[in-house]
Amino acid sequence: MEKRCVMCGKLFVPDKFHPNQKCCSYRCYHKKYHRELRDKVINKLGGKCVMCGYTGPALQIDHINNNGYEERKKLYNNPIWNYCGSGTYYYKLYKKILSSDINGDYQLLCANCNVEKEMRRRGLIK
């Protein structure tokens, strides 16, 4: 029996070992999982940009103390994760945010406010 992939809409035949499969491929499954994880993180962080109240898809997770680079280095340089390729950092970050008390380390900013924050940090605007 054919089913429709919940991510890309393609028809596919679930293999007999995974009859409840909702996605056509591992790729789509991964995307769906990633999106669900991201939605949970965004909910936990309040669901909107802390500067302007924006609630759309351009929300980004911001490190309040501007230590994103350091943290990325730390998470990526862990040899266990090194070979996992792109996306892994976000996966770890999402898990970390969801599983711990984040204590005001992260906030949501929309793409616009994020750029403005960065420009302000570099002293390009006031």
- In the complex, the residues that contact Zn ion under the rule CB under 5 A are 5, 7-8, 10, 24, 28, 49, 51-52, 54, 110, 113
Nearer to Zn ion, 42 or 113 (CB): 113
**Smallest distance from Zn ion to CB 99, Å:** 27
Question: What CA–CA distance (Å, rounded) separates 23 from 26?
Answer: 7
Nearer to Zn ion, 8 or 75 (CB): 8
Tokens of 122: 């570099």
Nearer to Zn ion, 26 or 83 (CB): 26
Nearer to Zn ion, 45 or 113 (CB): 113
**Smallest distance from Zn ion to CB 80, Å:** 29
End-to-end CA distance of the chain: 60
**Smallest distance from Zn ion to CB 122, Å:** 18
**Smallest distance from Zn ion to CB 74, Å:** 27
Q: What does the DSSP 8-state code read for residue 58?
A: T
Tokens of 117: 């924050």
Q: Where are the beta strands (DSSP E) in the chain?
A: 3-4, 11-12, 59-63, 106-110
Burial code (b: 16+ CB inside 10 Å, e: under 16) for 81-102 equals eeeeeeeebbbbbbeebeeeee
